[in-house]
């Protein structure tokens, strides 16, 4: 046999194999997509990792799943485009470069905007490809010639185009609004960029005196006494009867003496505190909306650096924490502060630097999201986009239906600069795709561009179509848009998925950006904890690839993926799946040693096939169809585990063992040739089915077999090897396997060494068809049970001193009188029986405990029930065997 010149070493070493084949795939253009192809299309755009990023386990999972789909579809005859790229990551990248400059005592302001942006581009060119190279190590089969960057010229043009279109439609506007502001990063943040954490805080109870000198005052509660200086009203709920008498009165703001009104507004919760709420429109998002409804003054007392400003009076120049302490002290002294109570409350932090955010009144650019969100909801309701698992559909609806206008301007230098120019002479704002040379209104050349850049997610929202050449109507768009599926984590459904849907429908005139959205779960450690550097439980995929190989990591990730369930990952699990590579390698070596003279064109004739040959051909056909169904439904874990179980548990443990006599020539030449042909057929399909999950080792093994010189992905996906799965063959083989397992179990219970030959096993068979079957497969039963003689009991009764096992219409006996010290064995079995009694009683007690059944997870209860059932069956069998040995 010509094995394509690839000779397998004695052991599997992933490093040279993975480097060799990735280089070969790229050289052969395996990953390249062709717009002119007549094949049906399958396309995915990679969720672009941050250019600052390094591969983490989340990336490894995300890209493994995308790669499985891409490789499968190539073999199924699709023209596949998996389009890669990276995100410019505005705040993250600017922070990295600023920290680098700070080491040399330089700030971005020392350099100026133009020079700083130039430095960031230099950093990007030097370090920006790190994560792309890491994805290649994982085996990602992206079309690397099409790699995009969210700030390359084509995507920048798309950003300007959509901005101008939305502005002209009134869907982008500039307005003064209370936004989330990071004093450290000096930029606005969207609601999604604010992370809320439970913190210890204080509740301050204050009394605002009546302006007319009336006795008493209005009592309010606040967690931020430093904002008192910006209060412009007190509000109560319109239906709050206990405080209704206060409406229309005026009170004095402590420390500043400002007279403010008591008003009514539905925002107030009458059951919270005293039912009276101080209103600070410039420093609280809810108060801002109340202020707009009642035309209240907006008094800003904290600036963008978190420092008290000129409106703060004597507190000017203090930072907000320092001011809080000083103000509380002064409120205590003048009797305004009535009490301080400890509380736990949610505090917003910047997602990037974790500084406490400040609600900040500022002129910003916004997307008017309601019309876009309505279109996005309608598209999903119409079935144009499907979420998998389906549970995420309602999560998407809830967020879209409660969406607020999106603040898209960021006070950064790195990013897409907002395409708006202001006239210094007449104040006109010109929004344009190309840089204007003069004011559109007055013709003045004294114009300057907006200093702000766009939120990173603005350009990311255009990713599915901007990467394919939009706004031009390119051949790539015509062939590959909409994309087939988006694979991503649940944490960016709102950040990214929803925005792609909104922008896709708008930019592509009603066409959705993708048909399916597959949401995978979070990768946690083996205890179910989130991975973090502080916990010390982070698993670095690059270290794993170096230690165990990319295939082992990919198989682990795929096998642990279950829709809607987090992945609990550990090095031990990866090590276990690494053993599968060894098993597959050694099985292939065994097959190849017996295929040296095989006829690759041999036709498998039914008359020379035995039961186990027919069984494996039916099973590989059945598995091929099931793997196809599972991958089409995004059941990655079920597909990976099926291939693992079939390859190890059926092909290796059963068929290869049963094929050995024929391969040795013990059953004649025709049987040897037939077995060789079956082996070739099964290994061809197994390697193809495993390839999308573990591409490196399967490619290496493929070229050791006589399957031609083509790469696996240039061959077709496996088809059925039989016209229809023969259930009778599967049932017959199951009977033979059950019989062998029964004998093996009896051997194990008798503590007979696995390799020790046993003189005899006896079968009592009540069904004539089964008796014929077991007699026809007698040599296979003896082979795998390690018994010298198989006797069929013909009414002589149960053999003396034998252990028994009951199957459906088959009683299995293992005479052990001459093999064991029978009294000693009975004593051992009695001890085991006593232990089982305790285990059974313990399980029954647990399951009878109502609290346990009510509180324990379903899988724990199910595990306990199964343990009880298994132990009760084992108990009955041991009792029977004690009786049998004692007779």
256-290 confidence digits (pLDDT tens): 999 999 999 988 988 888 899 999 999 988 898 89
Instruction: For the chain, give the percent of residues with pLDDT over 70.
Output: 99
**pLDDT at site 521:** 83
**What does the block give as tokens for 747?**
């051997």
Cβ neighbours, 10 Å, residue 694: 28
Confidence of residue 456 (pLDDT cuts 50, 70, 90): very high
Helix (H) / strand (E) element for 833: namely helix 822-848
Q: What residue has token string 């009104």?
A: 261
Percent of the chain with pLDDT over 90: 65
- Grouping H, G, I as helix, E, B as strand and the rest as coil, residue 467 is coil
Q: Which residue has the tokens 């109502």?
A: 850
Max avg pLDDT among 213-222, 570-579, 667-676: 667-676
Instruction: List, for residues 654-712, the tens digit of each pLDDT value.
Output: 999 999 999 999 999 999 999 999 999 999 999 999 999 999 999 999 999 999 899 99
User: Does 3 have pLDDT greater than 50?
Assistant: no
Q: Give the model's pLDDT for residue 1.
A: 45
569, β-bridge pairs: 525
Most confident of 178-187, 197-206, 788-797: 197-206
Return the closest-CA partner of residue 850 out of 861, 866, 839: 861
pLDDT of residue 647 exceeding 90, the answer is yes
Examine the pLDDT at 2 and tell me if it is beyond 70. no
Burial category of 422 from C-beta neighbours within 10 Å (exposed 0-12, middle 13-18, buried 19 and up): middle
Average pLDDT, the chain: 91
Helix (H) or strand (E) holding 822: helix 822-848
**Closest by alpha carbon to 690, among 559, 521, 523?**
559
Q: pLDDT class for 33, splitting at 50, 70, 90?
A: very high
Query: In this structure, how many other beta carbons lie within 10 angstroms of the beta carbon of residue 19?
Result: 12
Averaged pLDDT for residues 858-867: 86
Q: Which residues of 492-517 are buried (b: 16+ CB within 10 A; e: fewer)?
A: bbbbbbbbbbbbbbbbbeeebbbeeb
Confidence of residue 4 (pLDDT cuts 50, 70, 90): very low
Instruction: Write the DSSP string, 290-358.
Output: HHHHHT------B-TTSBB-GGGGGGTT-BHHHHHHHHHHHHHHTT-EEEEEEEEEEEEEETTT-PBPE
What's the CA gap between 284 and 359, in Å, rounded? 6
Mean pLDDT of 738-757: 92
Residues 779, 647: Cα–Cα separation, whole Å: 24
pLDDT at 243 over 50: yes
Of 545-549, 618-622, 796-800, the range with the lowest mean pLDDT is 796-800
Helix or strand run (H / E) with residue 633 = none
Give me the pLDDT at residue 733, please: 97
541 falls in which pLDDT band (50, 70, 90)? confident
**Helices (H) then strands (E): counts for the chain:** 29, 29
Contact by Cβ (8 Å): 624, 720 = yes
| Beta strands at 79-83 and 41-45: parallel, antiparallel or unpaired | parallel
43: confidence class by pLDDT, cuts 50, 70, 90: very high
The pLDDT tens digits for 150-201 are: 999 999 999 999 999 999 999 999 988 778 888 888 888 877 678 888 888 8
Query: Residue 714, Cβ neighbours under 10 Å: how many?
Result: 12
In b/e form, how buried is each residue of 780-806, taking b as 16+ CB within 10 angstroms? bbbebbbbeebeeeeeeeebebbbbbe
More confident: 523 or 159: 159
Q: Which two three-digit tokens encode residue 472? A: 């031009």
533: pLDDT confidence band, cut at 50, 70 and 90? low
List phi, psi (to 5°) of 383: 85, 10
CA distance 611 to 57: 45
pLDDT confidence bin for 232, thresholds 50/70/90: very high
Q: Say if residue 278 is exposed, middle or buried (CB neighbours under 10 Å; 0-12, 13-18, 19+).
A: buried
For residue 516, the SS3 value is strand
Task: Give me the sign of the Cα torsion angle 261, 263, 269, 275.
Answer: positive
268: alpha, beta or left? (left if phi > 0; alpha if psi -120 to 50)? beta
Give the residue-averaged pLDDT of 337-361. Answer: 85
- The pLDDT of residue 5 is 53
pLDDT at 216: 87
Rounded to whole angstroms, how far apart are CA atoms 715 and 695? Answer: 14
Name the pTM for this structure.
0.83
Strand order in the sheet with 337-350: 217-222, 194-209, 337-350
């Amino acid at each position: 046999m010509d094995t394509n010149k690839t000779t397998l070493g004695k052991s599997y070493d992933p490093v040279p194999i993975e480097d060799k084949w990735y280089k070969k795939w790229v050289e052969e253009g395996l990953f390249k997509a062709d717009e002119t192809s007549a094949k049906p299309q399958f396309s995915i755009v990679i969720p672009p990792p941050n250019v600052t990023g390094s591969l983490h386990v989340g990336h490894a999972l995300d890209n493994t799943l995308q790669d499985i789909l891409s490789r499968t579809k190539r073999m199924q005859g699709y023209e596949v485009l998996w389009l890669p790229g990276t995100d410019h990551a505005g705040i993250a990248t600017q922070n990295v470069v600023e920290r680098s400059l700070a080491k040399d005592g330089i700030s971005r302001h020392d350099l100026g905007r133009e020079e700083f942006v130039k430095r960031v581009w230099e950093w990007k060119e030097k370090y920006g490809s790190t994560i792309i190279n890491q994805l290649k190590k994982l085996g990602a089969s992206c079309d690397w010639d099409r790699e995009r960057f969210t700030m390359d010229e084509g995507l920048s043009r798309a950003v300007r185009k959509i901005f101008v279109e939305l502005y002209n439609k009134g869907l982008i506007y500039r307005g003064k609004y209370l936004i989330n502001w990071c004093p450290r990063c000096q930029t606005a943040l969207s609601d999604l960029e604010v992370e809320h954490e439970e913190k210890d805080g204080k509740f301050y109870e204050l009394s605002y005196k009546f302006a007319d000198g009336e006795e008493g005052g209005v009592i309010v509660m606040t967690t931020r006494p430093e904002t008192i200086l910006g209060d412009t009203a007190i509000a109560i709920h319109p239906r709050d009867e206990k405080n209704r008498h206060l409406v229309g009165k005026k009170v004095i703001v402590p420390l500043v003496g400002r007279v403010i009104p008591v008003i009514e507004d539905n925002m107030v919760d009458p059951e919270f505190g005293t039912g009276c709420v101080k209103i600070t429109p410039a420093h609280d998002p809810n108060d801002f909306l109340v202020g707009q409804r009642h035309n209240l003054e907006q008094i800003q007392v904290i600036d963008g650096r978190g420092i008290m400003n000129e409106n703060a009076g004597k507190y000017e120049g203090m930072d907000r924490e320092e001011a809080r302490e000083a103000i509380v002290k002064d409120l205590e002294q003048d009797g305004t502060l009535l009490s301080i109570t400890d509380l736990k409350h949610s505090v917003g932090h910047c997602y990037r630097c974790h500084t406490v955010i400040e609600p900040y009144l500022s002129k910003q650019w916004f997307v008017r999201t309601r019309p876009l969100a309505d279109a996005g909801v309608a598209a999903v309701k119409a079935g144009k986009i499907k979420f998998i698992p389906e549970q995420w559909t309602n999560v998407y609806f809830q967020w879209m239906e409660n969406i607020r206008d999106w603040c898209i301007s960021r006070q950064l230098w790195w990013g897409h600069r907002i395409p708006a120019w202001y006239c210094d002479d007449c104040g006109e704002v010109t929004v344009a795709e190309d840089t204007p040379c003069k004011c559109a209104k007055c013709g003045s050349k004294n114009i300057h561009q907006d200093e702000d850049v766009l939120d990173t997610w603005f350009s990311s929202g255009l990713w599915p179509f901007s990467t394919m050449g939009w706004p031009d109507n390119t051949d790539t768009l015509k062939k590959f848009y909409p994309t087939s599926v988006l694979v991503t984590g649940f944490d960016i459904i709102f950040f990214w998925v929803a925005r792609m849907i909104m922008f896709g429908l708008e930019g592509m005139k009603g066409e959705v950006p993708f048909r399916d959205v597959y949401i995978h779960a979070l990768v946690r450690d083996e205890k179910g904890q989130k991975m973090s550097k502080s916990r010390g439980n982070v698993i670095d995929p690059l270290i794993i690839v170096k230690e165990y190989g990319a295939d082992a990591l990919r198989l682990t990730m795929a096998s642990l993926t279950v829709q809607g369930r987090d992945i609990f990952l550990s090095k031990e699990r990866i090590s276990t799946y690494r053993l599968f590579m060894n098993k597959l390698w050694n099985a292939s070596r065994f097959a190849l040693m017996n295929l040296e003279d095989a006829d690759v064109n041999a036709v498998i004739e039914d008359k020379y096939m035995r039961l186990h040959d027919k069984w494996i051909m039916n099973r590989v056909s059945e598995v091929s169809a099931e793997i196809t169904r599972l991958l089409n439904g995004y059941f990655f874990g079920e597909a990976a585990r099926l291939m693992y179980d079939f390859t190890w548990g059926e092909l290796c443990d059963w068929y290869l063992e049963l094929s050995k006599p024929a391969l040795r020539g013990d059953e004649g030449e025709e049987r040897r040739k037939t077995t060789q042909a079956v082996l070739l057929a099964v290994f061809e399909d197994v390697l193809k089915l495993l390839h999308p999950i573990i591409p490196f080792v399967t490619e290496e093994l493929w070229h050791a077999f006589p399957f031609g010189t083509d790469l696996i992905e240039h061959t077709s996906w496996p088809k059925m090897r039989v016209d229809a799965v023969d259930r009778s063959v599967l049932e017959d083989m199951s009977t033979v396997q059950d019989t062998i397992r029964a004998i093996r179990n009896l051997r194990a219970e008798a503590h007979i060494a696995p390799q020790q030959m046993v003189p005899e096993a006896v079968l009592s068979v009540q069904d004539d068809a089964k008796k014929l079957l077991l007699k026809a497969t007698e040599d296979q039963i003896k082979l795998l049970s390690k018994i010298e003689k198989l006797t069929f009991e013909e009414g002589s009764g149960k053999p003396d001193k034998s252990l028994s096992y009951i199957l459906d219409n088959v009683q299995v006996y293992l005479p052990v009188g001459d093999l064991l010290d029978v009294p000693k064995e009975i004593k051992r079995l009695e001890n085991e029986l006593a232990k089982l009694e305790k285990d059974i009683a313990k399980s029954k007690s647990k399951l009878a405990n109502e609290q346990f059944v009510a509180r324990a997870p379903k899988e724990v209860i199910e595990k306990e029930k199964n343990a009880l059932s298994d132990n009760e069956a084992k108990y009955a069998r041991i009792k029977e065997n004690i009786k049998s040995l004692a007779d």
